[in-house]
Chain A
Amino acid sequence: MFNKSQVIETIEMVEKEHLDIRTVTMGLSLLSCVRGNARETADAVYDHVMRKAQHLVPTAESLSRRYGIPIVNKRISVTPVSLITAAFPAESGLIGGALDRAARELGIDFLGGYSALVHKGTADYEEIFLRTIPEVLAQTERLCSSVNVGSSRSGINIDAVRLMGEIIKETAELTKDRDGLGCCKLVVFCNAVEDNPFMAGAFHGAGEADTVINVGVSGPGVVQHALSFVPDADLTDAAEVIKRTAFKITRAGQLIAKEAAECLGARFGIVDLSLAPTPARGDSVAHILEELGLEVVGCHGTTAALAMLNDAVKKGGVMASSRVGGLSGAFIPVSEDIGMIESAEKGRITIDKLEAMTCVCSVGLDMIAVPGDTPASTLSAIIADEAAIGMINNKTTAVRVIPAPGKKVGDSVNFGGLLGRAPVMPVHQGDASKFIGRGGLIPAPIHSFKN
């Protein structure tokens, strides 16, 4: 049973503190859709997604009304497309187009899985697939792409890292009329997870069941609000407040995930415990860190505060959900968090500090605009650094950078909506092209040998 103050607390979380379910994501296997040629495969993929996900949006909206909790996004993740187009990789764009059309017709804002897993080596068909990404992202609206270039078990595929630097540059160029928007839909991972409900990095792993519901919760505003009541608490007590709040947020996600899976005839996959910000005021992870006592996110102490936040969210969330997975932690995208945007605009947070922060949280260098003339090899080197952090620390890391065409430091880009806006941040000028150009595989770290 619950009491009146708990009813009021829940309603205030929703109405004043931006509590919401960030995404209900249906994971779909496309392995049964492979046909003899690309056209027939694309048709089969379209029919399969339309049939399996036809009730996703209405069901999520009905659950939202039933429980009085907004469900912001309804999304789909699919089997990495490179796996189903191995026989005709150059025509993978046909499948990408079919997925984009299905997403549009179903009323889904993003569909993830135009992806490849090349962490140990790049097959010929995968390289051809990877080279289709820029054009496909330029021609589609809702399709998202991700590429896994490294893992703690296998090391880092530097040949793929080098290629992804070029692909990011080309994607930006092909969408230069929209500030390089295509790059917002492209993530490069190390240790990618197979059940991530968040975009742009969601895909449905080959080890997953046929149809799965994964839910991503949110609620940075709720955590910040709870901390505002304990301004003088020591950090142990502050961590306890975060844990308790994360528990409540996650329980809402768990309830929605189970109900949605049951209504949709799918398996309940996981609840992702991430704190996901939006550009709206009062929905910022950066402001939680400032609530803990930092003058501005990016100053010394930020990494420690973020480590504590991330850990406390996990501890509270794990207790609240029977199945936890995905990325689970605090997201620190620049353009999608008003606190990050404002700090970056004042030059108070740098790409180096962001890199340090990714050592202690999920997921990586996210939604960062860099000068349009940044060389592909520098983008590859940024990816390599981030992948190394993931590989050595046994965690997921990712890079989603936008080399904004024609823009330089001091300019800004504006993608609108949840993707937000970002100032163009400086990158280091030293040349890493020789290092990246060596290619090959950075061998797996010694601690990967656990068998």
Chain B
Amino acid sequence: MRAVVTVTGSDRTGVIAGISGFLAKKNINIEDVSQTILGNQFAMIMMICVPESSDFSALADECAAYGKGIGMHVRLQHADIFDAMHNI
């Protein structure tokens, strides 16, 4: 399943490493990464591929919880919502 992870929050060290490690443990492949710093604000968008066998909603909850643990806002969303809203 194609999905998008977005990470926002105050910049600090180890965010990319932490998120990547978290996703790798879930057997999730990262296909594209875009990251920027605006002021002190960190923002990252990752295109990922989630195994079909995964419980997507549970994984979304785990991502949010992981983000909370490192003081960042981490969202996992199925790619279909972006396709639906922005493509005819």
Contact = CB atoms under 8 A, between A and B. Distances in A.
A255 B80 contact: yes
Contacts of A447: none
B84 A68 contact: no
B45 A7 contact: yes
A319 B85 CA distance: 12
Q: Which of the listed residues A69, A254, A255 has the most CB atoms from chain B within 10 Å of its own CB?
A: A255
A67 interface: yes
A266 B34 CA distance: 40
Interface size class of A (residues with CB under 8 A): 20 to 34
B8 to A, nearest CB: 8
Given A1-B87, A2-B87, A7-B45, A67 B80 contact: yes
Interface in A63-113: 63, 65-69
B85 A10 contact: yes
B25 interface: no
A248 B77 contact: no
Given A4-B45, A11-B75, A66 B82 contact: no
A6 interface: yes
A68 B73 CA distance: 13
A67 B45 contact: no
Contact of A67 (B61, B78, B87, B88): B78
A228 interface: no
Contacts of A66: 56-57, 60, 77-78
Interface string A1-37: 1101011111100000000000000000000000000
A128 interface: no
Contacts of B17: none
Interface in A41-83: 61-63, 65-69
Interface in B63-88: 75-88
Contacts of B61: 65
Given A65-B61, A67-B77, A252 B84 contact: yes
Nearest to A62: B57
A4 B34 contact: yes
B28 to A, nearest CB: 15
B82 A10 contact: yes
Interface size class of B (residues with CB under 8 A): 20 to 34
Given A11-B6, A67-B77, A67-B80, A251 B85 contact: yes
A252 B77 contact: no
Contacts of B4: 7
B30 to A, nearest CB: 15
Contacts of B6: 7-8, 11
A67 B85 CA distance: 11
Nearest to B1: A66
A248 B80 CA distance: 13
Q: Which of the listed residues B34, B45, B56, B85 has the most CB atoms from chain A within 10 Å of its own CB?
A: B85
Given A7-B4, A7-B45, A67-B78, A2 B83 contact: yes
Contacts of A61: 57
Contacts of B78: 66-67
A6 B85 contact: yes
A4 B43 CA distance: 11
Interface in B1-55: 4, 6, 34, 45
Given A68-B75, A69-B81, A248 B86 contact: yes
Nearest to B2: A1
Given A11-B6, A65-B57, A66-B57, A255 B81 contact: yes
Nearest to B87: A2
A248 B85 contact: yes
Q: Which of the listed residues A4, A7, A255 has the most CB atoms from chain B within 10 Å of its own CB?
A: A7
Nearest to B4: A7
Contact of B81 (A1, A67, A319): A67
A10 B75 CA distance: 12
Interface in A144-188: none
Interface string A239-283: 000000000100110110000000000000000000000000000
Given A7-B4, A67-B77, A252 B85 contact: yes
Nearest to A251: B84
Contacts of A8: 6, 45
A2 B34 CA distance: 14
Q: Which of the listed residues A1, A62, A65, A69 has the most CB atoms from chain B within 10 Å of its own CB?
A: A65
Given A2-B87, A10-B81, 14 more contacts: A1-B87, A2-B83, A7-B45, A7-B82, A8-B6, A9-B86, A10-B82, A10-B86, A67-B81, A248-B86, A251-B84, A251-B85, A255-B80, A319-B88
16 contacts: A1-B83, A2-B79, A2-B86, A7-B6, A7-B82, A10-B81, A10-B85, A11-B75, A62-B57, A65-B60, A67-B78, A68-B75, A68-B76, A248-B86, A252-B85, A319-B88
Interchain residue pairs A-B with the least CB separation, the first 4: A68-B77, A67-B81, A65-B57, A2-B82
Interface of B: 4, 6, 34, 45, 56-57, 60-61, 75-88
